[in-house]
Structure 1
Amino acid sequence: MAYQFVIIPFHAFINHYGRAAPYLPRVAVIVPAWNEGAVIGASIERLLSLDYPADALRIYVVDDASTDDTAEVVLAMAALHPGRVFHLRREQGGEGKAHTLNHGISAVLAEDWMQALLIMDADVIYLPDSLRRMTRHLADAEVGAVTAFIREGSSDRNFLTRFIGLEYVLAQAASRRAQNVLGAIACLAGGAQLHSRTNLEAIGGRIDTTTLAEDTVTTFRTQVAGRRVVFEPYAVVLAEEPHRIAALWKQRLRWARGNVQVTTMYRRLWFRPSKQHRLGSISFGVFWFSIFLLPVAMVLSTIGLVGLFLLESDLAAAVFRSTWALATCTYVFAMVLGVQLDPKTGRSSWREAILFPGVISIVVLISAFFPGLIDHVVPGWFGVEVTPAAVTAWTLFVYAWITLSMVAAWLVKLVDSTRVGRIFSPLLTYIVGYGPILCAVTVDSYIKEWRGAARTWDKTEKTGRVLG
């Protein structure tokens, strides 16, 4: 994380803007929709009002055998805007987003009109200038695809959506700038993928249906074939995100399992530099696996530290203090830089920025940075004598918490799933941390893939609460 965030400022000098130019290709927008009657009408209206030439924009809603009034809403919009809005119906639904997209892609590619294809979700909102900002990168024939910054945009935010909003700043507005510098992008956002027709045809004219991460596979295929993928941080797309931990867990479990599948699928690519693409670079591999294997590193850290402590090795304390001191500096630097990249989110999520790793981890960070904290502050503030046994117990807890935080995160999910527990889940999340929840989801994805659990594409429930 320190390496990644140190790279970010170089994006001011190493970027694609020098090869971008005003470019307004004919764009076909594919909107996969299953029971989106509550949001699809407003989504179409907002797309039609984009700051983009009307004769160069068509909207294709792929109705995945919806059982609500999605079809009626889309057909009504098509009647109001003939030649601009189209309804494509799938009679067999429920096979997943990739199958739905492929139905629309095949219909669009059958005609010569489309020059670029935008894949989005039914509930997201593109800011008026976002599409223009994305298409300018396609003026460079070497660019195959462009993605935007997905910002959490729920109108009724709660503690969880504020955490998600901050996470998106760190994982997109920040990290993808670093990926732009490296020339290797990890993933086109599922709700904001702009492809040139040439790129779409080159990758087979279809989206991968064998994994739960069709957007990541498409991103990798584009780059492996030698075309560039660009992240446009100033093209902003608002999205509604889960308000409950159970819904977040279901969404992120699908993403995490998809990453496990992609990691396996491209196992011969990692750490093998290539002249054709940069996905095999050492830096990109470090970025990818630092997230993918973070839970493993946490468990190994606990085992190593506790083992050294039980051997009465002074190395344990020295290693712990130095690494957690570095972690503290990295955490502060990343949060300060991140909130500056998106001040709006920073103002609304400043508490979450402070408590992202959780109250307990914050205490651990402070005690690691100031080793005498327990010996001096606790007796002075609370009048409690700190015995050697207490110091030993605290030390073992600190070493164990690196791993136990993921267990605690799983317990927070269980508490949140009960009606009474929902009252306490915000407080528990702040104590345990949002980061450990994401790590616990990753562990769950390991288990699900190891057990060969069914690969079902569970749709995240949306209610149309995105800010207009």
Structure 2
Amino acid sequence: MANILFYVSLILIWMMLLYHMFLMQGGYHHFKTFEKVIPQWRKNMTDLPTVSVFIPAHNEEVVIEQTLKAMARLYYPKDKLEVIVINDNSSDRTGEIAALYAEKYPFIKVIETEGINRGKGKSSALNDALRQTDSEVIAVYDADNTPERMAVWYLVMGLVNDPKAGAIVGKFRVTNAKATWLTRFINIETICFQWMAQGGRWSWFKVATIPGTNFAIRRSIMKELGGWDVKALAEDTELTVRVYDAGFHIRFFPAAITWEQEPETLHVWWKQRTRWARGNQYVVLKFLSQFFKLKRKRIIFDLFYFFFTYFLFFFGVIVSNALFILNQFYDIQLSVGNVALVLWGLAFLLFLAEVMITLSIEKTQMNRKNFFTVILMYFTYSQMWIVLVLYALILETKRMIFQQEVRWYKTERFEKKRGEVSE
């Protein structure tokens, strides 16, 4: 029995690795081709839609000024642009700093969440802003983001030129990638997520996932869908499924770039990623239970991808590791032969090859230092994810059984160090 479980676990792990290699090929193809449409698309950027940029902010005084400086530099007609800082029950100087920029720039506004939406989290804050605006396009940025000057322009360009696109998502890079070993790992993870996962899924299946930041969506769709789901900790993934089910697709257009801050300590990383894992587990269970009600079956493929990632794949890793360790202390008749050891070694080499090839897409990232960082990442950061997903599943199961209220964790920010620059 132990041998059967062990080899089933290996099969699950290898299925995920091979699938990611498949995605990597698609992502690399998208990297080589996505810019070809820009010259033609640019010609259609004449009668531009009105845009509201939402920035949900709760106690963001450390980062909000840098974000608003970037917003003030955005390349978009100011008579068709409004930047709305949603001050959600902040107890620091977030509102005060935002108000100073609102005085200086007429297209920047500050609103305060009220009533039942006050202090309830990102989804509630976004819904509050949605009710107070009437722009044709809604763009969302987190309060630690500094989008490049053309970011919103490119997001809108995608919507203008792709009528079937309900939303356009850009790519994001890490501003504090060099701050700690943890941020170096996250930087590599971020690049791989975009090009290996987002780029590959769009290239092969015309499927992409809305991230929490740097995306634009048609207001008409948000109105049709009734806004953001306040019960979803991963409101972006949840919204993705509903956009596809409404008959639209989501385009990954990496010309739109934003830079964001990542957790510099394990404590902050653990809380943020636990929220992400729980949120995605909620989305998978929510929509798989509605399998026969979903009108657009294409998104089912993506739901199974998330199900495989957060349930089957991690089950395989946890079971194989547990059996191997248990066999060191008790005789469970586990015969891990040479074939299994070879498969484990090849899995590591495949992981290393996939990540390094993906890093070659970003300038300056394919280097010797990152090569050794990826090796260390495999044995540390990747293993931490295993424990985290298991912990998140326990919390989410407990919440469902006892009908507990969802509590939003707002990621803590870090002051920018002197001399810190974007890579």
> Where on the TM-score scale, by shorter chain, does this alignment land: which range?
0.7 to 0.9
Q: Tell whether the 8 Å contact from 1:199 to 1:222 is kept in structure 2 after alignment.
A: yes
Alignment partner, residue 389 of structure 2: 442
Query: Which stretch shifts more, 89-98 or 164-173?
Result: 89-98
Matched, 1:152 2:174: yes
Q: Tell whether the 8 Å contact from 1:225 to 1:276 is kept in structure 2 after alignment.
A: yes
Q: Tell whether the 8 Å contact from 1:240 to 1:464 is kept in structure 2 after alignment.
A: no
Give TM-score, length-normalised by structure 2. 0.82
Alignment partner, residue 295 of structure 1: 314
Aligned CA distance change for structure 1 residues 9 and 156 (closer, same or farther; 3 Å)? closer
Alignment partner, residue 68 of structure 1: 92
Q: Distance in 2 between matches of 1:286 and 1:60?
A: 35
Alignment partner, residue 125 of structure 1: 146
Q: Distance in 2 between matches of 1:194 and 1:324?
A: 41
Matched, 1:167 2:183: no
Q: 1:274 offset after TM fit, Å? A: 8.2
Q: Distance in 2 between matches of 1:273 and 1:69?
A: 46
Selected match of 2:128 from 89, 103, 118? 103
Larger relative contact order (C-alpha < 8 A, sep ≥ 6)? 2
Q: 1:13 offset after TM fit, Å? A: 5.7
Alignment partner, residue 244 of structure 2: 223
Q: How does 1:82-101 map to 2 (within 5 A)?
A: 82=106, 84-91=107-114, 93-101=118-126
Alignment partner, residue 456 of structure 1: 407
Q: 1:35 offset after TM fit, Å? A: 1.8
Q: How does 1:20-419 map to 2 (within 5 A)?
A: 21-22=41-42, 23=45, 24-82=48-106, 84-91=107-114, 93-108=118-133, 111=134, 114-138=135-159, 139-154=161-176, 157-183=179-205, 185=207, 187-204=209-226, 206-268=227-289, 276-281=296-301, 285-286=304-305, 288-302=307-321, 316-347=336-367, 349-358=370-379
Q: Tell whether the 8 Å contact from 1:17 to 1:137 is kept in structure 2 after alignment.
A: no
User: One-letter code of the match for 1:461?
Assistant: E
Aligned CA distance change for structure 1 residues 60 and 302 (closer, same or farther; 3 Å)? closer
User: One-letter code of the match for 1:327?
Assistant: A
- Higher Cα Rg, which structure: 1
Aligned CA distance change for structure 1 residues 202 and 245 (closer, same or farther; 3 Å)? same
Aligned CA distance change for structure 1 residues 35 and 234 (closer, same or farther; 3 Å)? same
Root-mean-square deviation (CA), in Å? 2.9
Q: Distance in 2 between matches of 1:269 and 1:346?
A: 43
Q: Tell whether the 8 Å contact from 2:140 to 2:212 is kept in structure 1 after alignment.
A: yes
Q: Tell whether the 8 Å contact from 2:271 to 2:409 is kept in structure 1 after alignment.
A: yes
Q: 1:219 offset after TM fit, Å? A: 0.9
Q: Tell whether the 8 Å contact from 2:151 to 2:256 is kept in structure 1 after alignment.
A: yes
Aligned CA distance change for structure 1 residues 127 and 346 (closer, same or farther; 3 Å)? farther
Q: State the number of aligned residues.
A: 385
Q: Runs of 5+ in structure 1 lacking a partner?
A: 359-432
Q: Distance in 1 between matches of 2:224 and 2:339?
A: 50
Q: Distance in 1 between matches of 2:21 and 2:293?
A: 22
User: One-letter code of the match for 2:25?
Assistant: P
Aligned CA distance change for structure 1 residues 454 and 208 (closer, same or farther; 3 Å)? closer
Alignment partner, residue 403 of structure 1: none
Aligned CA distance change for structure 1 residues 312 and 459 (closer, same or farther; 3 Å)? closer
Aligned CA distance change for structure 1 residues 284 and 98 (closer, same or farther; 3 Å)? closer
Q: Tell whether the 8 Å contact from 1:182 to 1:284 is kept in structure 2 after alignment.
A: no
Q: Runs of 5+ in structure 2 lacking a partner?
A: 1-16
Q: Distance in 2 between matches of 1:170 and 1:127?
A: 20
Q: Distance in 1 between matches of 2:347 and 2:174?
A: 27
Selected match of 1:6 from 19, 22, 27? 22
Q: Tell whether the 8 Å contact from 2:173 to 2:260 is kept in structure 1 after alignment.
A: yes
- The SS at the match of 1:344 is coil
Give TM-score, length-normalised by structure 1. 0.75
- The SS at the match of 2:288 is coil
Q: Sequence identity of aligned pairs in percent?
A: 25
Q: Distance in 1 between matches of 2:344 and 2:296?
A: 38
Q: Tell whether the 8 Å contact from 2:24 to 2:358 is kept in structure 1 after alignment.
A: no
- The SS at the match of 1:341 is coil
Q: Distance in 2 between matches of 1:146 and 1:12?
A: 19
Q: Distance in 1 between matches of 2:119 and 2:243?
A: 27
Alignment partner, residue 6 of structure 2: none
Q: Distance in 2 between matches of 1:269 and 1:181?
A: 27
